[in-house]
Copies of this chain bind each other. A is one copy, B any other.
């Protein structure tokens, strides 16, 4: 193999690190790949860390210890996160999206890879320290954003179903209160989907009264799994009292007006307050 130059190594390492977020690569992996010494690769990593920081391309960390190495996390800056969520709010508040009953049509936007990937990285960035083992969501619309959150965290996603399926094997079914009216509905999770003692991050697209999120928390109790956080992409301001406390949301719907077909949607306070604080530094 020809000798690899530094700029070639840096490009290849960037591609490899970025493709597997939150995965720790040992220096040895790269030594073997490029036929370079550890000291050389340490310098490479220092350069990459600087470039990533300078151009806001995410965070490169050196992890020490026996299982140590280098790891990439696609953490956006507070300003970027606020701006991306503000842009999404504008897309969702566009005229014509309000449906009968005050619902907002968002199925199209929630399935755009670039949008949900950005939102997934913002959600993940809030929960790296909580070290979830998996991301739990309920079918259907929340799956893309939950998937992208799981990708950024480097963990699997687990999908709760509306009913048990022959191809999921033995399952635990629980009842929960759905919608603001409080209909009793059923959710189902395969017995083999998660293991006792694991840590779950619950992610969903939308929360009004919080019944579904509450149901997922109850479901995790049945499996003796610890819930390390609950985050939804969009929550409604009303009802102020939710069925579950401590839920984080990126966006808030203040109101929808069927007669004019418009909605008032904004980034959650915690999100842009952090950005403003950072900007003021």
Number of copies of chain A assembled together = 2
B107 touches A168 (CB 8 A): yes
User: Which of A98-106, A215-223, A240-248, A265-273 lies at the binding interface?
Assistant: A98-106
A177-208 vs B, CB cutoff 8 Å, 1 = contact: the mask equals 00000000000001011000000000000000
A159 touches B7 (CB 8 A): no
Task: Kindly state the interface size class of chain A when it binds its partner.
Answer: 35 or more
A225 CB, nearest partner CB in chain B, Å: 15
* 8 Å CB interface, A125-161 against B: 139-141, 143-144, 147, 150-151, 154-159, 161
A112 CB, nearest partner CB in chain B, Å: 5
- Nearest B residue to A100, CB-CB: B166
- Nearest B residue to A167, CB-CB: B103
Residues of B within 8 A of A108 (CB): 156, 158, 192-193
Residues of B within 8 A of A8 (CB): 10, 47, 50-51, 54
B190 touches A105 (CB 8 A): yes
B111 touches A11 (CB 8 A): no
Q: Bound state CA distance, A167 and B12, in angstroms? A: 44
Residues of B within 8 A of A54 (CB): 8, 12
Besides A11-B52, A105-B190, 15 other A-B contacts (C-beta < 8 A): A7-B10, A8-B47, A10-B14, A11-B11, A14-B14, A15-B55, A100-B166, A103-B167, A105-B168, A111-B156, A112-B156, A139-B139, A140-B140, A140-B159, A143-B143
